[in-house]
Amino acid sequence: MPAKPTSPSLPEYSESSIRVLKGLEPVKQRPGMYTRTDNPLHIVQEVLDNAADEALAGYGKKIKVSLHLDGSVSIEDDGRGIPFGLHPEENAPVVELVFTRLHAGGKFDKGQGGAYSFSGGLHGVGVSVTNALSTRLEVTSHREGQMACLAFAGGDVVEALQVRPLQAGERKQGTTVRVWPDAKYFESSQLPMGELVHLLRSKAVLMPGVIVTLANEKTRDTQTWQYKGGLRDYLMQTLVADPVIPLWEGEGFADSSHDSFAEGEGAAWAVAFTDEGAPVRESYVNLIPTSAGGTHESGLRDGLFQAVKSFIELHSLLPKGVKLMPEDVFARASYVLSAKVLDPQFQGQIKERLNSRDAVRLVSGFVRPVLELWLHEHVEYGKKLAELAIKAAQTRQRAGQKVEKRKGSGVAVLPGKLTDCESRDIAYNELFLVEGDSAGGSAKMGRDKENQAVLPLRGKVLNTWEVERDRLFANNEIHDIAVAIGVDPHGPEDEPDLSGLRYGKICILSDADVDGSHIQVLLLTLFFRHFPKLIDTGHVFVARPPLFRVDVPARGKKPASKLYALDEGELTAILDKCTKEGVPRDKCTISRFKGLGEMNADQLWETTLNPDTRRLMPVHLGALDFAATVALLTKLMGKGEAASRRELMELHGDSVEVDI
């Protein structure tokens, strides 16, 4: 029997087809996963953060950044110098490992025996990313009476480590790193000077007494910053309007007897309230600028709100019918916040946003009592601040009532199963579309009834991709959703009337399983097809409930706690952290939520509804434009598209992890 002919056009798929990315290859293949690629500032910042961590640990007083004529940048510090002896397990110089291995550094071991108690991050990619994305990188380390030098090109060692004794007159200790960023990885090879100056200035602010210098060889300019007055000086110099009450500053850090937080954890802050102008808001975690905010800022907001609210209640200042909300106090606040967190969890590799849930409690717990005391000591200033917050609340409520009147009496009767919120202010109102009645019941009990509404959905929603707009209301679930949000179905080219919109955030809340994902897709299809302007204007969100709960027993002075993980990756990270804190894995109880219905009201609030601790993803167009997204959704959701779906499955089926 003749052999079956093989098609020459099909590529062979065998063991040799599988490629394993080694060393720094993953960074070069996908630099956007590890750093910002619009310009090289962030890879320079990684080196700068290391120098700042030395100063933060108390070992350095000077940091100098030089911009050289050849386009390279050098960062010099007078810290301890990177160790250059052989690593006991890896049998290679430690300084080489730091620059060539992802997840190698001195910041993983916290507490006793670690080199750093507080540092700017624990992703462990750090300067190895700087090295991978540079044509050349030179390191010089002075320590223990010796000087060591080595150089890399594209992440590989090109000049091996050389060590010699220090000569007379040479500096005793410190590290100098000189970087030549590789232009092919960045949209622009130029460093944004404004951002660089802001970054260096902020380092000086956050480390009072440390001298930070920027030298530019091209312009022959040298700028030096040293703030002995710290946050207060900086905020006063940056404000554009005069504060209504004197600038308020404070700090609070846990001592060794604190029952919830490690020694040294806490925050320092300076806050000013102004009547006009754009507020100045800057926050940092272990000196890393968190431009997208995060849970430490939520803690500051909560602390300010609780303190002002209790002052207003004590002095009976709130007019009848006015309800105070956190944003009323926070709206006119300018602040600089510097938090110290032992094991910071950041969102993404570039550390723009802090995700650590405990940071809300940490910062709020220190801010509230200090502000309460200050307000009671300065009652006149307290009353001025209360007046500012009450005025903001009245303006907000008036705006909500105007919208209500414009609707007139022709408003459709709201669905019976909708549990509405009390507020009518769409800037803060949220609607949760919840899968199933049992989860709906927990959500109703756990929500903040002031501004969170709940609409339970029974079973799977209709696939509306090919449903005519006129026929949409024949389906009860979709009729209820449309009436609840107060906007009629429309097309991408229409100009719908959004004045009837009743909620600023419409959040899809479904189980973290396959069925939950399907309901999510069906609802996203409904909004993209029939309410596209809600997605355009940023009103649609997807809530991410956790998949696991870890019960950690009491350890030392730390009480027993419950931790939540979104997925397997976060679960592993939590268990690793517990192991480091001396709690064996078998002592931690792991439970997996089969669905939202298994969560009680408190758990649902803590993990999924509380704005300070939940994970809420905004829905907007991704890498594809509108037309390409329509084409893709047609393949996924169209009735006559089974062949296209099969093709998609054949192409991408092996990249999906199925949780059975």
Distance CA 290, CA 560 (A): 30
Q: Choose, from 265, 435, 606, 612, the residue flagged as catalytic.
A: 435
Q: Choose, from 513, 581, 598, 641, the residue flagged as catalytic.
A: 513
Residue 172 CB neighbour total at 10 angstroms: 11
114 is in an annotated binding site: no
Q: Choose, from 448, 515, 570, 581, the residue flagged as catalytic.
A: 515
123 is in an annotated binding site: yes
600 is in an annotated binding site: no
560 close to 553: Cβ distance less than 8 angstroms: yes
Distance CA 55, CA 203 (A): 10
381 is in an annotated binding site: no
DSSP 8-state assignment for residue 133: T
127 is in an annotated binding site: yes
487 is in an annotated binding site: no
Helix (H) or strand (E) holding 521: helix 514-530
Q: Is 468 a catalytic residue?
A: no
Q: Is 302 a catalytic residue?
A: no
Residue 521 CB neighbour total at 10 angstroms: 17
620 is in an annotated binding site: no
598 close to 514: Cβ distance less than 8 angstroms: no
158 is in an annotated binding site: no
- Residue 442 main-chain phi, psi, to 5 deg: -65, -40
Distance CA 278, CA 614 (A): 28
125 is in an annotated binding site: yes
126 is in an annotated binding site: yes
Q: Choose, from 182, 372, 511, 612, the residue flagged as catalytic.
A: 511
User: Angle 123-127-131 (CA atoms, 0-180°, nearest 5)?
Assistant: 130
DSSP 8-state assignment for residue 111: S
The closest of 638, 446, 459, 626 to 543, measured between CA atoms, is 446
198 is in an annotated binding site: no
Distance CA 541, CA 544 (A): 10
The closest of 111, 137, 151, 8 to 582, measured between CA atoms, is 111
Contacts (Cβ under 8 Å, ≥6 apart) of 482? 472, 473, 488, 489
Q: Is 606 a catalytic residue?
A: no
120 close to 52: Cβ distance less than 8 angstroms: yes
Supply the residues annotated as catalytic: 435, 511, 513, 515
Annotated binding site: 13, 50, 77, 121-127, 351
* Residue numbers belonging to the annotated binding site for ATP: 13, 50, 77, 121-127, 351
